[in-house]
Amino acid sequence: MILKALLVGAVIYIVYIMFFKQKAVKTTQTEKKSQNKQQADEMVECTTCGVYVEISEAILSSGKYYCSQECIDGAAK
């Protein structure tokens, strides 16, 4: 009788591990993918020449984004 109860408990535990624990792993992988998408840089347009540049590489001057120092100098003329 005790052996049957232990076997049923073991089977229930194995089924729990197989189905419910893997969902937690899949959820974690999905969260990592969404975080990577959020880390992607936004593109902004250079005020002078119109080229799109990642915001992390753009130069912010007087509240406007520029792709290079040459464009900043060209806008000042």
- pTM check: above 0.95: no
Question: 30 and 8 in one domain?
Answer: yes
d(CA 71, CA 47): 8
The domain tally of the chain equals 2
Residue range(s) defining the domain that contains residue 65 = 41-77
Which tens digit of pLDDT belongs to each residue from 6-46? 999 999 998 888 887 766 556 666 666 665 554 557 899 99
Which tens digit of pLDDT belongs to each residue from 51-77? 999 988 899 998 999 999 999 998 776
pLDDT for res 40: 59
- Is residue 49 predicted with pLDDT exceeding 80? yes
CATH number at residue 48: 3.30.60
> In the structure encoding, which two tokens stand for residue 57, read together?
């590489």
pLDDT for res 32: 63
Question: 52 and 27 in one domain?
Answer: no
d(CA 7, CA 25): 27
Q: Which residue in the block uniquely carries the two structure tokens 């937690």?
A: 24
